[in-house]
Structure formats: C-alpha cells, structure tokens
Structure 1
Amino acid sequence: PRPRGDQAYAVLRIPRIGIRVPVAEGISKSAVLNQGYVGHYPRTAQPGQAGNFALAGHRNTHGEPFRYINRLRDGDELRVETGSAVYTYVVDKALARTSPRDGGVIRSVPRSEVRKGYGYSEPGFYITLTTCTPEYTSKYRLVVWGTLRSMRAR
C-alpha cells in the first residue's frame, strides 16, 4: 500500500556525500520538504518497483538534503531503506540544468522533454533526485538518475 501523505516511510542514504535523510510521501513544501524530508513524487513508482522512484529535496535551507547532489558521479550508490528491504541504486546519468516544468524527468521512463538526449529510452527500475539550481534560487532543476542494482530483504 502507498504511504499516506506527508508520512516518512523510508530512509535515503548517499554515502559519497554523507546524506542520511527520511523520505516522506508527497512534495508539499510545508508538510514535507520544509520539514527536512526528501519528498516522493506522487504517482511515481515506490522503491524497487518497475518505473521511476522520483524524489525532490531542498538544496539550501530546511536541512539541505540535496545540497551536494551535483557532486555525485557515475557509480555512486543511492540506498533506499524501508521496513522490509534495502534497495541499492547506482548513479549513471545527470542533467545539470533543466526547466522546473520538465515533467519528463520524473516519468516512468525518465527522459527530459526540454534537453533532448538526457535520460533513458527503455523501461527499467530507476531513481530520480531533483533539486533547485543554481544554489539559492529556484530558476532551474538539477537532476540525478540511477538504476536499481540490488535489493536485499530485511
């Protein structure tokens, strides 16, 4: 079952940049993002499911969970821990700047509608991290993508 709105139900760990942050359902600023959570985009896949597990997080203020996602490199691990499993995704693509309205980056097969050639072309098991860029503005979005490498039951 889907978690209820604004409920934390997972933990995102990004070892390369020292992040450990709760994941909550929804992307409301007041109920989720401004509480220091990373928000799960409604109507995107849940961890480990086929499709795209898409997340949003502040780059500055409110805990700044995605402050340094621009430093992630191909091969870096993104671990999502739930009560029942640990899902390990591996970074393999990024988009340094796109429009805040580029909804393609969080689709089931994530692919930019603004910056052609960025994203994926085949169905799979994906994770997407989105945040504002440049720092201290919300003019554009920075996107980091990864694919599922493993799942371990708890």
Structure 2
Amino acid sequence: MRRRERIPVVVQGRRGRRPPVARALWTGAELAVTCGVVLLLLVVHQLWWTNRQAQGAARDQVDRLERQWDDPGPRPGGPPHTGPKEGERQRADAATPRAGPPRTAPPAPRAAAPPPRDLAYAVLRIPRIGVTAPVAQGVGKAAVLNRGYVGHYPRSAQPGGAGNVALAGHRNTHGEPFRRLDRLRPGDTVTLDTAEARYTYVVRRILPRTTPGDGTVIDRIPHSGVHPSYGFTAPGAYLTLTTCTPEYTSTYRLVVWGVLRSAQRR
C-alpha cells in the first residue's frame, strides 16, 4: 500500500509594525500627494475656470449694453420727444434768418456724467489684441475686475472728456482683458463706446514698467513720477490703460497712453 505524503503547511507570522521613521515618511508622502492635488485644482480654477466664467459674463454684458443702445426706449426723466421731424426742422431753419456765419460742423459730443459705482456703462475695443470688454465705474476687484470688466478710475475723466480717462484691467485670470496689452504700439487705435458716442483714441506712448505707487500716470496730464522722461506736459484728452507686469505677478505696472482722435455721435 502506497504511503500518502503530507503537504507541509507554512503559517506566516504577522508583519511587524513599521518603524516610526517609515511611518513618518509614509504619512509625509500621503500629505504631499494630497497637497499637490489641491494645488493643481487651485491652478486649474485660477487659470481656466475664472477666465471662462468672467469672459462669458463680460460678453453677456457687452451684448446687453449694445442692445440697450440700439433700442433705448423712452428716456427717463421726461415725456417722449414730440418736436418736429428732421425734414420739417431743416425747412424751418432754412426760413429763419441767422445771426453770424452758419456752423459748418456739429459740436463735439459731450462726455456723459459719471455713472453709479460698479455699473458697466461703456465698451472698450482694442482691435490689435482682440479685446472687447465692458467698462464699469470703479476698480474694485470683487465688483469689477474679477468679473472680466475693465475698471474706470472714478476720479479720472469720462470717455471723450478733457483730461485723462484712466482704466485698469487684469492681465492674468478673471477674464484677463489686458493679457496682451504689451503688444500695443504707437499708432494703434483704441475705441470707447458709450450710449452717446464712439470715442477713438490713438496710442502715443508706452511705459513698459513702473512701480505700483506711480500714481501720476493717471493724472489729468498723465506722466510718470518715477520715470520723468515718460508722459505728457500739456493739457489734452488722454486715455490711460494700466495693468500688472510681468505676467502672473503684481510687482510692477505696465502703462499705455493714448490721445483722443475723433468722437462720433450715435
């Protein structure tokens, strides 16, 4: 009779606990991976989601403003206009003697009164860098800049007015309307559309870098107190665009100056 062979059974003992150094390293590695994932999500949120959200909101605001200007409806503060039609007014003017020489050109459009703070009331267009963005009164981050808007410094001139129309915008994140502001060159055009008129400015001078405290760049006669060779010395109708530089930092400010070339009534 054949004898059966027994198969040996190997019983493994319990694994010993990791030494404290190994446990500390393992915990540190897990924390590092978790922090890395969180940081990656924050970067995606800042560089992608905030741009997507703000750019969409800014486009919607531009559309609303343009529809409002195209069909303003009855103006508040008085009854609808009931005066003579254009042809009747021209015939009446022709039959009425005038004192002095006739006017050969209409007066330039007057700048609008300051709108309420944080309200979008104009549209900025910069063809060279493909910018179309709403302009709101004020430069607060939460209420204006982080919504993808360009902010208007409240104490500066209104579009088309004498003095200096000073605007600010994000260069990175939250719509980044001034992302490529450094690509502007003298001779480029910038337009500001309002309910009253379109104002066209021509870029004249560019200050590539100055300190955040160089506040004279948005003065009525804009100039740099840090770099005296940059700026203007005579009164005029100016436009100033400001943003942070270099990209992804707020260490310095990039400044673009323009002068008013034309104003066209709506």
2:246 equivalent to 1:142? no
Q: CA deviation at 1:26?
A: 0.2
2:131 equivalent to 1:14? no
Structure-2 residue corresponding to 1:130:
242
Structure-2 residue corresponding to 1:41:
153
Ranked by relative contact order (alpha carbons within 8 Å, sequence separation 6 or more), the top structure is 1
What are the ranges of 5 or more consecutive residues in structure 1 without an aligned counterpart? none
Name the CA distance, whole Å, in 1 between partners of 2:117 and 2:147.
13
Name the CA distance, whole Å, in 2 between partners of 1:47 and 1:41.
11
Match of 1:94 among 201, 206, 217: 206
Name the CA distance, whole Å, in 2 between partners of 1:21 and 1:142.
19
Name the CA distance, whole Å, in 2 between partners of 1:108 and 1:146.
13
Aligned length: 154
Name the CA distance, whole Å, in 1 between partners of 2:241 and 2:213.
15
Match of 1:85 among 197, 200, 203: 197
Name the CA distance, whole Å, in 2 between partners of 1:68 and 1:121.
28
Name the CA distance, whole Å, in 1 between partners of 2:212 and 2:155.
18
- Extract structure 1 runs of 4+ deviating beyond 3 A: none
2:175 equivalent to 1:63? yes
Q: What secondary structure does 1:67 align onto?
A: coil
TM-score (norm 2): 0.58
Name the CA distance, whole Å, in 1 between partners of 2:223 and 2:204.
13
TM-score (norm 1): 0.99
Name the CA distance, whole Å, in 2 between partners of 1:98 and 1:78.
22
Greater fraction helix: 2
Q: CA deviation at 1:42?
A: 1.0
Structure-2 residue corresponding to 1:108:
220
Larger radius of gyration: 2
Q: CA deviation at 1:89?
A: 0.1
Two-structure CA RMSD over aligned residues (Å): 0.4
Name the CA distance, whole Å, in 1 between partners of 2:241 and 2:186.
14
Q: Percent identity?
A: 66
Q: What secondary structure does 2:182 align onto?
A: helix
- Report the AA paired with residue 225 of structure 2: E
- Report the AA paired with residue 170 of structure 2: H
Name the CA distance, whole Å, in 1 between partners of 2:158 and 2:114.
8
Greater fraction strand: 1
Q: CA deviation at 1:90?
A: 0.2
What are the ranges of 5 or more consecutive residues in structure 2 without an aligned counterpart? 1-112
